[in-house]
Every structure is written in C-alpha cells, then in structure tokens.
Amino acid sequence: MNKESWQAGEQAWFEYHCFESEYSRDAKLWYHSHQRVVVVREEPSDAWPGSTFAERGEEGQPKCYRILFTDGFQYSAFEDELITTKADFYCDDPPTDGLGVPL
C-alpha cells in the first residue's frame, strides 16, 4: 500500500518500478529493490499542493523522495516506489551475487 505523503525519518519498503536491467542508468537503484529504506526528505517534484496520490499518478507528476538504504546508499525515488508492506511488491526480485547481496 502506498501513502499520500512520507515524512523524514519514516521507514518504507522500496520497489524499483523503472527499466529493470543492468543497462539502466538507475541499475544500482534496481539492485536495491525490495529493501527497507528511511525517508530522508521530500525533494522538488511536479506534484501540486492538495493533490492526492491517485491524482498525481494519473497526471504523471508524483512526489519524489530522497531515501537511505541500510548500506548507506542514497538515491531519489518516486512515491509509487515507497510501500508500507512488502506484501504489495509486484516486481521480481533483482539479481544478487548468489549470496543474497545485491549486485
């Protein structure tokens, strides 16, 4: 389940929703899919005041957040990639090094 808004310090599950490939310019982010993150801050986006998650999704103007992974990696993520429970994942797990460590 997604939320209308995330606050700094909140924990979320992250699921990458873009080009799932080692050739993606965001491949490192994809390799971190399906992990717990901490929201660092909301970042500038095209979202407008008073809009709902659904409205922003329909218009292709989601909120954007800076997130922190447990290994110290920080990146930006769209709000639809931040989820309250891992039961809502719908993408496959990213590849690992065979020991469960993201590539």
Domain locations along the chain: 11-88
Query: Average pLDDT in the 43-69 region?
Result: 96
- For residues 44 and 50, give the distance between their C-alpha atoms in angstroms, rounded to a whole number: 15
Q: Given this model, what pLDDT does residue 19 score?
A: 76
pLDDT band at 44 (very low <50, low <70, confident <90, very high): very high
Token digits for 35? 């992990």
3-state SS class at 75: strand
Chain centroid to CA 17:
8
pTM comes to 0.87
90 conformational bin, left if phi > 0, alpha if psi -120 to 50, beta if neither: alpha
